[in-house]
Amino acid sequence: MTSTLDDHADVRVHGLWKSFSGHEVLRGIDLEIDGGDVVVVFGRSGSGKSTLLRCINFLEEPTEGTIEVAGIRVEGGGHRTRRKREQIRQLRIRTGMVFQDFNLFPHLTALENVIEGLVTVLRRPRREAELAGRELLELVGLPEKAESFPIQLSGGQQQRIAIARALAMNPRVMLFDEPTSALDPELIGEVLGVMRRLAKELHMTMLVVTHEMGFAREVASRMVFMSDGQIIEEGPPAQVLGDPQRPETRRFLQAVL
């Protein structure tokens, strides 16, 4: 890792602890993601992968620890003062989030979903936002669905719109929380295809929680294995997948591959 070249890290997680009513879900996570890197987080359910992601944009308040995205540094824990809320908001603006169950706004069309952040949060003029929005729909391969409502789209299409919505904010990092887990098997490929494009063509910095090991092998610059709220193994996919060092990793990979 390039921990000496601190300024190049887009995301820095330091000493992250999270407990839910006494139960420790994250136990001291340190993680840095450099610009353009794709980090795939994997592990058994309950290992804390999703919580890690959700702590990074403060959908969950870390019990302890520091999160830094694009130079915006927020301490976890303590009361959310007005100042802290604004810091969190600034951090979120620079962080794109893709949810497992899409969470598109059902009362808005695909295009309106994509430009909502631009218009409401970044206060871009609607015309300009729509142009950008249509380009993004093109990027995710759904230009003809601009006027469709989420309910009229398949799960795979909805997730691609959700990716476009997050991308519209021009974030420094994209967080993917099991983006294909709620999809029917035949729809997974189209979503992974878009994510592959983001990584390879746009060199987007990405943190992906997924069980899609084929995708990880092909796209990840680094893989992180989590167990019981800790990162217990990490490295390039060839190494982690080909020659796992820890028995937990080996057992998990045997089960999923």
Partner 1 sequence: MTTSEGGGAHAAPPPPPVHQRSRREDLELFSSRVPFALKLVAVWVAILGSLVALFAAAGFDTAWMRDHAGFIARGVTWTIVIAACAIVLACILALLGALGRLSRNPVAVGLTSFYTSFFRGTPLIVQLFLIYLALPQIGIALGAPWDDVLTLDVLTAGIIALGLNYGAYMTEIFRAGIQSVGHGQSEAAEALGMTYSQKMRRVVIPQAVRVIIPPAGNEFIAMLKDTALVSFLGVSIERMEIFRRAQLAGRRDFRNLEALIVAALIYWGLTTIFQYFQLRLERRLSKGYVRGTAGVAVAGERRAPGTEKR
Binding site for partner 1 (CB under 8 A): 57, 59, 89-90, 92-93, 95-97, 99, 101, 103-109, 116-117, 120-121, 149-155, 158, 165-166, 169, 182
User: Which residues 6+ apart lie within 8 Å of 235 measured at CB?
Assistant: 222, 223
Where residue 71 falls (left for φ over 0; alpha for ψ -120 to 50; beta otherwise) is left
Task: State phi, psi for 211 to the nearest 5 degrees.
Answer: -105, 5
Q: Report how far residue 197's alpha carbon sits from residue 53's, in angstroms, rounded to the nearest whole number.
A: 21
| Cβ(77)–Cβ(63) below 8 Å | yes
Give residues with Cβ within 8 angstroms of 191, minimum separation 6.
Answer: 156, 159, 160, 163, 179, 180, 183
Question: Which residues are paired to 72 by β-bridges?
Answer: 69
Q: How far apart are CA 238 and CA 240, in angstroms?
A: 6
- Whole-angstrom distance, CA of residue 244 vs CA of residue 238: 9
E strand residue ranges, 2-123: 9-20, 23-34, 38-43, 64-69, 72-75, 95-98
Chain position carrying tokens 């019981």: 228
